[in-house]
Structure 1
Amino acid sequence: MGTFRVTIEVGDPSGQQWSGVEAVVDTGASYTWIPANVLHHLGVTPQFRREFMTADGRVVTRDMAVTMARWDGTALPTLVVFGDPGSMPLLGAYTLEGFGLAPDPVNRRLIPVRGLAL
């Protein structure tokens, strides 16, 4: 099974300018990580900073912002982390849940899921 990639669009906060990015679907990542140079090119500016634990146990601090993401024609606001320039984009849990999507690792695709109201 393993990981797989999908193409999503990331936009500026007003949804006027978009950039397609190929992102690794990563439910272990709390948020979507986009290289900072891509976000800056779209005019997305950092709004706050947050600490993260990396896979190797380090703690890093990164800029974050609210901006737009688009999947299958639907555009929604989401939180993004400013990743290192040239780093692999990650499609994280917050964005996946916002779109009501879950990974299907066998068929390497995203599938719609119902939200929970428990």
Structure 2
Amino acid sequence: MEEVELLVDSGAIFTSIPGEVLKGLGLGPIDRVRLRVYGGAVIEREIGWALIEYEGVRRVAPVIFGEKGDTPVLGATSLESLGFQVDPVTKKLKPVEFLMI
């Protein structure tokens, strides 16, 4: 297990973790994806799966293998699968009810 500090970005679809951290944990990419970044540029990054834990809740989520200069972020897919959302007033994560509809 590796503890990584991530910027919460509910506007980002995927979580991005430095690739060297993921590979150091024995995780490997399964594909490459094209991503549009802030400013409009399109980049390619490797993507895979990782077990992500926050506040004792663990879920497997897709992760981008970040490269040098990429900001490590916790994206919307991981936030939703963990059952958290950003409280706009407190700017903190709060649990939400899961919906099956």
Decide: shared fold, TM above 0.5.
Answer: yes
Instruction: Specify every segment of 5 or more residues in structure 2 that has no aligned partner in the other structure, as ranges.
Output: none
Who is 1:13 aligned against? none
Q: Deviations over 1:16-48 (max 9, x none)?
A: xx1111111101110100011111111110111
Who is 1:91 aligned against? 74
Matches within 5 A, 1:1-118: 18-85=1-68, 87-118=70-101
Greater shift in the superposed pair: 97-106 or 31-40: 97-106
Instruction: Tell me if structure 2 keeps the 8 A contact 1:37–1:85.
Output: no
Tell me the CA shift for residue 105 of structure 1: 3.8
Instruction: Specify every segment of 5 or more residues in structure 1 that has no aligned partner in the other structure, as ranges.
Output: 1-17
SS of the equivalent of 1:61 reads strand
- 4+ runs deviating over 6 angstroms: none
- One-letter code aligned to 2:56: G
Distance in 2, Cα, partners of 1:34 & 1:27: 15
Tell me the CA shift for residue 82 of structure 1: 0.6
Q: Work out the number of aligned pairs and report it.
A: 101
Distance in 1, Cα, partners of 2:25 & 2:100: 35
When the two chains are superposed, the root-mean-square deviation of aligned CA atoms in Å is: 1.4
Q: Percent identity?
A: 37
Distance in 2, Cα, partners of 1:58 & 1:92: 19
- Report which of the two has the higher share of strand: 1
SS of the equivalent of 1:37 reads helix
Distance in 2, Cα, partners of 1:86 & 1:58: 14
Q: Deviations over 1:25-75 (max 9, x none)?
A: 101110100011111111110111111101110111110001211111222
Tell me the CA shift for residue 104 of structure 1: 1.6
Distance in 1, Cα, partners of 2:36 & 2:96: 28
